[in-house]
Amino acid sequence: MHAPLGSELHDILRRTFGYTAFRGQQEAVIARVMAGAHSLALMPTGAGKSLCYQIPALARPGTAIVISPLIALMHDQIRSATAAGIRAASMTSADSDNAATAQALRDGELDLLYVAPERASTAGFQSLLERTRIALFAIDEAHCVSEWGHDFRPDYRMLRPVLDRFPTVPRLALTATADQATRADILRQLGIPDEGLIVAGFDRPNIRYAITPRGSGRDNGPRQITELLQRLDGAGIVYAPSRKQAEDLAAAINRSGREASFYHAGLEPERRARVQAEFVQSESMVMVATIAFGMGIDKPDVRFVIHAGLPKSIEAYYQETGRAGRDGDPSEAHLFWGVSDFARARQWLGEVEPERLPAENARLNALAALVEAPTCRRAILLRHFGEHPPAQCGNCDNCLEPPRVVEASELARKLLSAVYRTGQSFGIGYIEKVLTGQSEERVTARGHDSLSVFGIVSAAEAPLLRPLARTLVARGMLAATEHGGLMLGPEARPVLKGEASVTIAEPPPRTRRQRRTRGSGEAANPVGNPLFEALRAKRKALAAEHGLPAYVIFHDSVLRDMAHQCPETLAELGAIAGVGTKKLETWGPDFIAVVREHLRS
Ligand SMILES: [Zn+2]
């Protein structure tokens, strides 16, 4: 347990960040740092991780040294910190003023200094630290220190000797994703005691999850995505499985009338930096990207993340969708998947070293269970991370419109038998013809009209065959041949012998319009409210004038409160959550002028 934080820290929270209360585990983490203890904070994206080192940096004498893996990420964070009146700088190969920064550090003129692990471990930097008063070490993206983590960076292993030279300086490791093995490894690698682990819940209640099978023909994946984008406001990311698909999808979205760019590792570094900067500034751009995009971006107002294909794992899905809604505002995560995704993934398993096979299989099965489930998506995600969530969240597709679950074991046996008896080489279209008894020439020429499975599926059951085939492939009961046909998979036997049952979620009719209801009781942006629109226009103009992303000025939630409360004085504006002293001085008069203008008219 921790003692309540003193009034000094609450003052900093209110003055600098404009909040009256800490959220979640922030207070517990800050209390440990203030007491000089070493800690590992495991907090979901959007839980206010950076505040956990920024507030002690302001409260403790000296400068906080923040280890961060990516220059772009450092620069985004410095911009946000500076806007709140915090003195922050970085020393990287991309900064031209490193000598001046070193001088400022020695003179005690910095609250935060961001460096990459490569630099932190050099002799030169260590001798600079010897002449500096250090408030704390913050090690961001700390999962990079572990070989068990999904982004291992060997440079993080060089940090321990640096930290050990300053044993009395508190170290705070932070990460948003780490399973049990990775957590234990981070503690060991960075010399943090076991009791220093603080885990905040994984839930991101403001993100609505929805998972849909990709359509075929006219209603194919790109079309599903462009239709979905028609009702999604704001800036967002579409993850595509390949560079080519990223470019094609961006073109399709642009043709549909929505502004889209693409990003992948094949682009010139200069162009990558440019589109990334454009996206961070934008309030409406759709970025179609391979998974190379997103890790180095600190953009809190991403309103949606769409996956055009199956992610690599549940961890990857959680991390990628977690880039939506870091400002806590309602956001959406949509995943479109197809049977070919699983076919490709299972094929790839054939090339994995034998000792890694069980883990990779488990990874894929967990994904299959998530996409095929007729039950709450959030509950599945949270259980995967070891939590015990309620059975229903009320803010995912399956909770909002529960799918009809169909018992399909008998139909599955018929389907598997038909695949087997036709020689395990045909696709679902042909199998469907045989099962429903269509005496086409293709079928009769092969004598398949005389098989026992010919015509044993009724017209009423026929529409279930394709979703059922998807389920069977996802669960390894069917597998894809090299030529795109179907064959029995390793899990087929128990179904054929009647030892395993199969249920499927009936696919929703395509015409169903998804309601844009909001979860967690959070208010939506009052689109059409003239004051809110005027405030947003003012923010946009100021952002353009100062070359800043809009969210650095004020988050949407602040504009909503302004539109609701109509503050006419700086004192009234300063009472709104998210308005600190520096922002009040810098932007307050402009926004009050808008409110007054609105009240007069
Ligand atoms: Zn749910």
CA 196 to ligand 1 centroid distance, Å? 32
CA 311 to ligand 1 centroid distance, Å? 20
Q: What pLDDT band is residue 503 in, cutting at 50, 70 and 90?
A: confident
Across the range 181-200, mean pLDDT stands at 91
CA 397 to ligand 1 centroid distance, Å? 7
CA 303 to ligand 1 centroid distance, Å? 19
H helix or E strand, kind and range, residue 113? strand 112-115
CA 390 to ligand 1 centroid distance, Å? 9
DSSP letters spanning 458-507:
-TTTGGGHHHHHHHHHHTTSEEE-TTS-EEE-TTHHHHHTT-S--EEEPP
CA 203 to ligand 1 centroid distance, Å? 11
Please determine, for residue 511, whether its predicted confidence score (pLDDT) is greater than 70.
no
Cβ-contact 302, 235 below 8 angstroms:
yes
* pLDDT recorded at residue 130: 95
Across the range 236-245, mean pLDDT stands at 94
Axis-axis angle for helices 465-474, 428-435 (nearest 10): 130
CA 290 to ligand 1 centroid distance, Å? 27
CA 402 to ligand 1 centroid distance, Å? 9
How far is Cα 396 from Cα 400, in angstroms, rounded to an integer? Answer: 6
pTM: 0.69
H helix or E strand, kind and range, residue 235? strand 235-239
H helix or E strand, kind and range, residue 277? helix 269-281
570-596 pLDDT per residue, tens:
999 998 988 999 999 999 999 999 999
CA 320 to ligand 1 centroid distance, Å? 19
* pLDDT recorded at residue 35: 93
Higher-scoring residue by pLDDT: 261, 1 = 261
CA 321 to ligand 1 centroid distance, Å? 15
Higher-scoring residue by pLDDT: 93, 24 = 93
Q: What pLDDT band is residue 2 in, cutting at 50, 70 and 90?
A: very low
CA 140 to ligand 1 centroid distance, Å? 31
CA 392 to ligand 1 centroid distance, Å? 5
SS3 of 504-545: EECCCCCCCCCCCCCCCCCCCCCCCCHHHHHHHHHHHHHHHH
CA 379 to ligand 1 centroid distance, Å? 6
Higher-scoring residue by pLDDT: 407, 216 = 407
CA 500 to ligand 1 centroid distance, Å? 26
CA 205 to ligand 1 centroid distance, Å? 10
CA 307 to ligand 1 centroid distance, Å? 18
Letter string b/e over residues 162-190, b meaning 16 or more CB atoms within 10 A of that residue's CB = bbeebeebbbbbbbbbbbeebbbbbbebb
150-160 pLDDT per residue, tens:
678 888 999 99
Query: How many of the other CB atoms lie within 10 Å of CB of 434?
Result: 25
* pLDDT recorded at residue 471: 83
* pLDDT recorded at residue 215: 83
Domains of the chain (ranges; CATH) run 7-199 (3.40.50.300), 207-337+373-402 (3.40.50.300), 405-506 (1.10.10.10), 530-600 (1.10.150.80)
CA 202 to ligand 1 centroid distance, Å? 14
CA 333 to ligand 1 centroid distance, Å? 13
Higher-scoring residue by pLDDT: 45, 466 = 466
Letter string b/e over residues 373-389, b meaning 16 or more CB atoms within 10 A of that residue's CB = bebbbbbbbbebbeeeb
How far is Cα 260 from Cα 282, in angstroms, rounded to an integer? Answer: 11
Across the range 227-234, mean pLDDT stands at 93
CA 209 to ligand 1 centroid distance, Å? 8
Q: Which residues lie closer than 8 Å to 17 by C-beta, 6 or more apart? A: 51, 84, 578, 580
CA 596 to ligand 1 centroid distance, Å? 42
322-331 pLDDT per residue, tens:
899 988 889 9
CA 396 to ligand 1 centroid distance, Å? 4
Please determine, for residue 516, whether its predicted confidence score (pLDDT) is greater than 70.
no
How far is Cα 311 from Cα 558, in angstroms, rounded to an integer? Answer: 34
Cβ-contact 377, 209 below 8 angstroms:
yes
Q: Residue type at 320?
A: E
How far is Cα 211 from Cα 471, in angstroms, rounded to an integer? Answer: 14
Pairing of strands 405-407, 503-505: antiparallel
CA 391 to ligand 1 centroid distance, Å? 8
CA 277 to ligand 1 centroid distance, Å? 34
H helix or E strand, kind and range, residue 116? none
Across the range 126-141, mean pLDDT stands at 96
CA 394 to ligand 1 centroid distance, Å? 5
What the block records as the tokens of 466 is 């394709």
